[in-house]
Amino acid sequence: MHVSCGGVTLGQWVTMAILCFVNLINYMDRYTIAGVLDDIKTAFDIDDDKAGLLQTAFVVSYMVFAPIFGYLGDRYNRKYIMAGGVLMWSLTTLAGSYMNSYGSFILFRLFVGIGEASYSTIAPTIISDMFVKEKRSHMLALFYFAIPIGSGLGYIVGAHMASSLGSWHWALRLTPALGIASVLLILCLLEEPVRGESEGTRVEASHNTWWEDLKLLFTNKSFMLSTAGFTCVAFVTGALAFFGPSFLILGFKLIPGDDSAKEDVSFKFGVVAMLSGLIGVPLGPFLSQLLRSRYSRIDPLICAAGLIISAPICFFAILSPTTNKTLCYALIFTAELFLNLNWSIVADILLYVVPPSRRSSAEAYQILFSHALGDASSPFLIGLVSNNLKKILNPDSFTIPTNTSVPVTSSDVVDFHSMQYALFITCFIEVLGGLFFLLNAIYIRRDKEEAEKEASCDALPEPTHFIANDPREK
């Protein structure tokens, strides 16, 4: 396990492969519901707001329990915490697939969020303790590479399983099997690195109280501003990912001569999401490393540019579903490509502005705030705005297409435009996120230097002679 390839040991490669695999199935599970959302709405007889609440309920429990797992991750063995969490979300996802009422189904989505919180708070800190500088950026890019691919596979696999086996319930039964397999991989093969090892130090588990950690993190301007910017990314990603396929189905239905099947839209949306991630996620750290020698503040500037450029493209993408499908998919791809520049860079920012002894807690609080105000609230908020717009929009103010392949009613037109107007909110949120990252650029150098100084002070001393007790074992 210590054979080196490219300066990375076999054990480290195995650990990275396991972490990426779990991240992949994590996001597959998260967005499988979006691929069969229309079927779920029909089965439970619910509107857009209750459909959005399914994702909101999952993310609420996810964010509430993240600080608990962050606290534990800074103090106890991270491998066993992750294994327990992955096992929990696998079993509760499987159990939820057998529920036939809205209340019981949403209850199990809450339990799924608890399990996933354990993994997401801890995995990036393991990568941080194994790698440093350029290698860390590369490995984080690889890790977050799994997010758009997993999300895209969630749409594709969910729609395909549902159509092939005749029920949307089957869409939720693949990832639990993969999750249980990943638990065995974590327990048997994953390495647990020493905290701070990649920086050339060996840092003790945190002995601070919860309140002391919280005060130190809240006074870290780079951490707070990057978290605010990432919250905007999460808001936009959550809204577009959850309502994207169903919104396109509504829009494409209004194009004359269109006969797209629902699963065809979910499949294409998933492919677009994956392709934008395949390019966008590694492009962010590539640009960062290319320009970092010239511009020390380049990381938050790339994040800001990605969001601000994505905003107008996203606006036109939301306008286009009733005009041209190819143009619509191209605009979605471009908007998501620039949005995906943020993922690994934001994770890297957190890891170098926060000392090793508080990184799991920092990950947890970033998850808490980004999801509380981001993708926990955006599906429900967008669905709520859409439902209220349906009540006030006048059907007579819209032209109803008459030469479509399927009959179109005034209700169909109102449904599309109400969701369209609600999704325009995401464009303003992207601009706001860009402003947060621009402010972050002001403080990034100072906070990075302070984190490095604190990490060196926290390092345990080496023994001075052979018979001395090793102070690192205290």
Q: What is the pLDDT of residues 177-222, one digit of tens each?
A: 888 898 999 888 888 777 666 555 555 545 556 667 677 788 888 9
Residues 228 and 333 both lie in one domain: yes
Please say which residue of 162, 193, 224 terminates a domain.
Answer: 193
- Pair 228, 349 in one domain: yes
- What are the tens digits of pLDDT across the range 112-133? 777 777 777 788 788 878 887 6
How far apart (Å, rounded) are the C-alpha atoms in residues 191 and 79? 8
CATH number at residue 182: 1.20.1250.20
| Among 166, 193, 220, residue at a domain's last position | 193
CA angle 357, 371, 18 (to 5 degrees): 60
3-class DSSP state of 459: strand
pLDDT of residue 61: 79
Report angle CA 263, 429, 213 to the nearest 5 degrees: 105
185 shares a domain with 322 = no
Closest CA to 187 of 306, 18, 319, 61: 18
In a domain, 68, yes or no: yes
Confidence band (pLDDT; 50, 70, 90) for 469? very low
Model-level pTM?
Answer: 0.71
323: left (phi over 0), alpha (psi -120 to 50) or beta: alpha
Q: What is the pLDDT of residues 298-331, one digit of tens each?
A: 999 999 999 999 999 999 999 999 888 889 999 9
DSSP labels for 128-185? HHH--HHHHHHHHHHHHHHHHHHHHHHHHHHHHHHHHHTSGGGGGSSHHHHHHHHHHH
- 336, 238, 350: which is closest to 283 by C-alpha? 336
Q: Do residues 267 and 371 share a domain?
A: yes
- With beta carbons less than 8 A apart as the criterion, state whether 349 and 362 touch: no
Residues 147 and 266 in one domain: no
Domain stop point among 143, 167, 193: 193
List all residues 6 or more positions away from 340 whose beta carbon is below 8 Å from its beta carbon. 148, 276, 277, 279, 280, 281, 283, 284, 306
Do 239 and 128 have their domain in common? no
Residue 263 shares a structural domain with residue 408: yes
Residue 155 has pLDDT above 70, yes or no: yes
Residue 31 φ then ψ, to 5°: -110, 5
Q: Does 466 map to a domain?
A: no
366 and 443 inside one domain: yes
pLDDT for residue 357 is more than 80: no
Q: Is residue 132 part of a domain?
A: yes
CA-CA-CA-CA torsion for 184, 190, 195, 199, nearest 10 degrees? -160
Q: Which domain holds residue 385?
A: 210-457
* Same domain membership, residue 217 and residue 150: no
- Domains identified in the chain, total number: 2
Q: Please tell me the distance from the alpha carbon of residue 24 to that of residue 178, in angstroms, as a whole number.
A: 10
Q: What phi, psi does 369 have (nearest 5°)?
A: -75, -40
Question: Mean pLDDT over residues 218-232, rounded?
Answer: 90
Helices of type H across 166-256? 175-189, 210-218, 221-252
